[in-house]
């Protein structure tokens, strides 16, 4: 991370903590909800299947920038399905950097060619070993591994949503992150139980077991892009929600934290690690602050 970016984030953090501000720093633009997959745990694919036009996406990026966001995520549906004429996701990443965003990340299912060296991170969903991943995401594991190996850059972070179907394979994904080329780290979430996938939610016991595998891996130096000190809060869902420093924009509509904010009772069962990590950080939790500094400087 550049020193100028680091200074900007440090100043933002201090102001937010001292004055209990609710200004956002992290914004996500949903490029489309269209997707080429239909994963068992996902409730947000192909609801409209509209690919939003470039002019609209550009306006949305500008809106987030003017709200104060300096970390930008592009997400979907499947993000790599986005195109408008000659423009691709890569053009959006380059434009976001020119606009002044300090960190620009893309989330993808990894089934398309990965040619995005300008992104700070490509968060690529891998949901277990070959068998469990394919059970959840269809027969895509081999294509994804081929795309990872032939990627144009080494900015890939595996992204695993842990649920009842793949809970036994956390260690396999850590091993993949340790051994495959072009992968910088792995980042986890626990399944968030949307009404149509509530049966995939982990029990307290399962969350405890996962947290202990993740904690042990962090302690032995494995590349994990999560904060050890946030794990107990995630296991017990005892972190504050929603995250006021995060906003999502989809088809002109802005939501605080996530599109899921409208689902009654969901925030109390939230499994998204970024929510715990950011809300605890901005409440001034010193262990989280120290952990975040260490982790972010290692991977970005």
Ligand X SMILES: C[S@@+](CC[C@H](N)C(=O)[O-])C[C@H]1O[C@@H](n2cnc3c(N)ncnc32)[C@H](O)[C@@H]1O
Residues that bind ligand SF4 (CB under 6 A): 35, 37-39, 42, 44-45, 76-78, 109, 192, 241-243, 257-258, 260-261, 266-267, 270, 272, 275
> Are 59 and 159 contacting, i.e. CB atoms less than 8 angstroms apart?
no
Other Cβ atoms within 10 Å of 51 Cβ, number: 17
Beta carbon nearer to ligand X, 42 or 104: 42
Nearest to 200 by CA among 168, 173, 167, 170: 167
Tokens for 114? 């990965």
Q: Which does 75 bind (CB under 5 to 8 A by kind): ligand SF4, ligand X, none?
A: ligand X
Beta carbon nearer to ligand SF4, 214 or 275: 275
Q: Which does 74 bind (CB under 5 to 8 A by kind): ligand X, ligand SF4, none?
A: none
- What are the distances in angstroms from CA 60 to CA 6, 76, 142, 252? 25, 14, 35, 7
Nearest approach in angstroms of CB 221 to ligand SF4 is 29
Q: Which does 266 bind (CB under 5 to 8 A by kind): ligand X, ligand SF4, none?
A: ligand SF4
Nearest approach in angstroms of CB 95 to ligand X is 20
Nearest approach in angstroms of CB 66 to ligand SF4 is 22
Q: Which does 257 bind (CB under 5 to 8 A by kind): ligand SF4, ligand X, none?
A: ligand SF4
Q: Which does 191 bind (CB under 5 to 8 A by kind): ligand X, ligand SF4, none?
A: ligand X
Nearest approach in angstroms of CB 268 to ligand SF4 is 8
In SS3 terms, 185-248 reads as EEEEEECCCCHHHHHHCCCHHHHHHHHHHHHHHHHCCCCECCCHHHHHHHHHCCCCCCCCCEEE
| Structure-token match 């408008």, residue found | 84
Other Cβ atoms within 10 Å of 138 Cβ, number: 15
Beta carbon nearer to ligand X, 24 or 271: 271
Beta carbon nearer to ligand SF4, 39 or 217: 39
Residues that bind ligand X (CB under 6 A): 35, 41-42, 44, 75-76, 78-79, 107-109, 125, 159, 161, 189, 191-192, 194, 197, 271
Q: For 156, list phi and psi in degrees, rounded to 5.
A: -90, 130
Q: Which does 249 bind (CB under 5 to 8 A by kind): ligand X, ligand SF4, none?
A: none
SS3 of residue 163 by DSSP: coil
Nearest approach in angstroms of CB 163 to ligand X is 7
Beta carbon nearer to ligand SF4, 86 or 268: 268
> Are 41 and 165 contacting, i.e. CB atoms less than 8 angstroms apart?
yes
Beta carbon nearer to ligand SF4, 217 or 277: 277
| Residue 83 exposed, middle or buried by CB count within 10 Å (0-12, 13-18, 19+) | middle
């Amino acid at each position: 991370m550049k020193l100028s970016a680091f200074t900007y984030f440090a100043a933002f953090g201090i102001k937010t903590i001292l004055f209990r501000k609710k200004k956002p720093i992290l914004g996500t633009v949903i490029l489309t909800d269209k997707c080429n997959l239909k994963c068992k745990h996902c409730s947000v694919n192909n609801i409209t299947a509209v690919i939003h036009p470039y002019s609209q996406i550009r306006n949305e990026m500008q809106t987030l920038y003017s709200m104060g966001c300096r970390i930008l995520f592009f997400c979907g549906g499947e993000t790599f399905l986005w195109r408008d004429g000659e423009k691709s996701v890569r053009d959006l990443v380059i434009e976001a950097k020119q606009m002044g965003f300090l960190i620009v990340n893309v989330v993808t299912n990894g089934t398309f060619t990965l040619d995005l060296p300008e992104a700070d991170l490509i968060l690529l969903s891998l949901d277990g070993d070959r068998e469990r991943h394919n059970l959840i995401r269809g027969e895509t594991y081999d294509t994804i591994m081929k795309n990872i190996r032939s990627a144009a850059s080494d900015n890939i972070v595996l992204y695993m949503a842990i649920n009842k179907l793949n809970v036994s394979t956390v260690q396999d994904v850590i091993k993949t992150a340790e051994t495959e080329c072009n992968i910088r780290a792995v980042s986890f979430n626990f399944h968030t139980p949307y009404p149509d996938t509530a049966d995939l939610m982990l029990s307290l016991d399962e969350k405890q077991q996962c947290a202990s595998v993740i904690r042990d891996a962090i302690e032995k130096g494995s590349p994990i892009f999560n904060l050890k000190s946030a794990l107990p809060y995630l296991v017990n869902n005892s972190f504050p929600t929603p995250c006021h420093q995060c906003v999502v924009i989809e088809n002109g509509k802005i939501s605080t934290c996530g599109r899921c904010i409208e689902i009654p009772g969901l925030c109390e069962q939230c499994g998204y690690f970024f929510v715990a990590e950011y809300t605890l950080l901005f409440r001034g939790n010193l262990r989280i602050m120290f952990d975040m500094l260490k982790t972010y400087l290692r991977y970005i």
